[in-house]
Amino acid sequence: MGSENAKQREPLVILKEALQAGITMFQFREKGPNALTGHAYEHFAHDCLKLCQQYHVPFIVNDDVELALKLKADGIHIGQDDLHISLVREKIGDMLIGISVHTDAELQIALQYKADYVGIGPIFATRSKNDANVPSGTAFLQQVRLKHPDLPIVAIGGIDNANARTVVEAGSDGVAVISAICESNDIHNTVAQFKKLTIHNNQHI
Ligand code: 3NM
């Protein structure tokens, strides 16, 4: 999540409520036409990191390896268009790496460089990522789970309380969401419902 996702409320207030509600990981993803830059970007990231630390929740940076190193983040998440995972692994040592995968070939590279988790999506249509791929449904997720019973998998894209059961039943350990939490009128309840579904699956994350 980033400042652009918080449309009506302060992003740090949303993050704090989500942490209090029991989210188990946070990804800092400052994207979009009005995304913060420069000092404001770093300052906001640092504030998010401090909040996550208060709740002992891992803070993951999307894409920006330099920021992850500077802030001593817990991990970095990369997509297929970002720096190659082999180079990211070299730069960040044993920090967590998550990588988005959409095909078996991408998955094999993720495994080769010991990604700590893979992100699979968009499962459903999303309004939160302008350049998102066509929604994939759960077929690829199911395939990956069958072949790799112990690989931590996080599903993303259009997931809400109503459809999360489908992705958990397809084998996802966790769900990554933006709008379901940022646009919720009751973050505690939204997070509680996600946790009820994922609690048995997410032994790895
Ligand atoms: N990555 P929402 S979908 C950031 O498919 C992101 O890789 C995706 O937001 C991917 O929960 C997505 O509002 C947006 O749909 C997720």
pLDDT of residue 105: 98
Amino acid at residue number 10:
E
pLDDT of residue 6: 79
Cα–Cα distance for residue pair 197/73, rounded to 1 Å: 28
pLDDT of residue 200: 61
pLDDT of residue 1: 86
Ligand 1: residue whose CA is nearest its atom 15: 158
pLDDT of residue 199: 66
Residue 173 lies in a domain: yes
Residue 157 lies in a domain: yes
Question: In sequence order, what are the beta bridge partners of 175?
Answer: 155
Residue 203 lies in a domain: no
Q: Is-catalytic flag, 100? A: yes
CB 120 within 8 A of CB 155: yes
Catalytic residue among 16, 89, 129, 195: 129
Residue 184 lies in a domain: yes
The angle that helices 11-21 and 187-198 make with each other, rounded to 10 degrees, is 40
Tens digits of residue pLDDT in 61-97: 999 999 999 999 999 999 999 999 999 999 999 899 9
Q: Which long-range contacts (CB under 8 A, 24 or more apart) does 10-18 make?
A: 11/44, 11/48, 12/47, 12/48, 12/51, 14/181, 14/182, 14/187, 15/48, 15/51, 15/52, 16/51, 17/187, 17/188, 18/181, 18/187, 18/191
Tens digits of residue pLDDT in 122-139: 999 999 998 899 999 999
Residue 205 lies in a domain: no
Residues of the chain short of pLDDT 70, as ranges, are: 199-205
Residue 204 lies in a domain: no
Residue 177 lies in a domain: yes
pLDDT of residue 203: 45
Residue 99 lies in a domain: yes
Identify which of 60, 77, 126, 163 to mutate to test ligand 1's pocket (most ligand atoms within 8 A of the CB). Answer: 126
Question: For residue 98, what are the domain limits?
Answer: 3-198
Residue numbers belonging to the annotated binding site for Mg(2+): 63, 82
Q: How many CB atoms lie within 10 A of CB 81?
A: 8
CATH assignment of the domain containing 70: 3.20.20.70
Domain count, the chain: 1
